[in-house]
């Protein structure tokens, strides 16, 4: 697939557009599920209250 590239030559101080052969790449997820610390704190408090956990 052809796509457009904007080229800035910093030495010659000139810009031009050119076509290049482009293969779309996978869009990666920005992050995994992660840790919600507010939920984690609630979970710890709940587990402490139930006597399941001692911190």
| d(C-alpha 24, C-alpha 38), whole Å | 38
CA 5 to chain centre: 24
Residues 3-32 that bind another protein (CB under 8 A): 3-13, 15, 17, 20, 22, 24-32
Provide, rounded to whole angstroms, the least separation between the CB of residue 44 and another protein.
14
For another protein, give the closer residue by CB, 34 or 51.
34
Q: How many CA atoms lie within 13 A of 36 on its CB side?
A: 5
Q: Does 55 bind another protein (CB under 8 A)?
A: no
Kindly list the residues in this chain that would bind another protein in the complex (CB under 8 A): 1, 3-13, 15, 17, 20, 22, 24-39
């Amino acid at each position: 697939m052809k796509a457009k590239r904007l080229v800035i030559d910093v030495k010659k101080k000139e810009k031009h557009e050119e076509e290049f052969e482009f293969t779309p790449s996978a869009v990666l997820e920005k992050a995994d599920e992660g840790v919600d610390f507010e939920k984690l704190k609630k979970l710890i408090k709940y587990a402490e209250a139930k006597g399941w956990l001692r911190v």
